[in-house]
Structure 1
Amino acid sequence: MATGDFCHIQFSSTDLAKTKAFFGEIFGWTFQDIPGFETYGMFQTPSGLGGGIDVSDRADPPSDQGPILHIEVDDIDATLAKVIEMGGKTVAPKMKISDEFGHAALFLDNVGNRFGLWSA
């Protein structure tokens, strides 16, 4: 990674196992436990970008008010259907941004964090 690239994304959860299942099933994220950090789950996206999910007492509660991180997908409609199936909900349905930039949508995961979907 180069200086200035995203290198780690961290967000909160109230249920680490539930959050791992949600993002693993829908987006193919993989997870690694860190000995001694039972309240923090490391994840990696298919492209290699990684981050952590914090369920510790020091973590902010899950929120729909923080930064919006968009996840690239092939089919927004199918992904939103899977989000709902896995206990999340649509916040903003698929919308066309432009012919050049494609479409976007917003959803809440199964513990209340807001994320975006992007399809070029």
Structure 2
Amino acid sequence: MAHGDITHIDIPVSDMGRATAFYSTLFGWQIAEVPGFEGYPMWQAPNRISGGGLAPRGDGFTQPRSYVEVDSIDDTVAAAVQHGATVAMDKQPISETSWWAVIADPDGNMIGLYEGVTDAG
């Protein structure tokens, strides 16, 4: 993936079993937990390109969130803030070689940022 590509979409759910059955039946998504990411089943669309995760719904996470791949989260956050965004979640590690953060655009839309590589299968 390249800088600016949408790389992942998280969908907030209150019942993992119900959500897994719903999305796999309705859209044919393959949904499974990946070692190292237990409790966070990941989905893949039939095109084998689109994908994301089913994440627990909670305060501050009530709507689907897209993640955009960037070359540098630090640089992207700085530029976003300069253009009116706010930081909703500071940079956090996913693995030894990948990180994520969340910004809110000037309209309050949450946008996830992703930097690095993962061996999530």
Give the structure-1-normalised TM-score. 0.46
Give the structure-2-normalised TM-score. 0.46
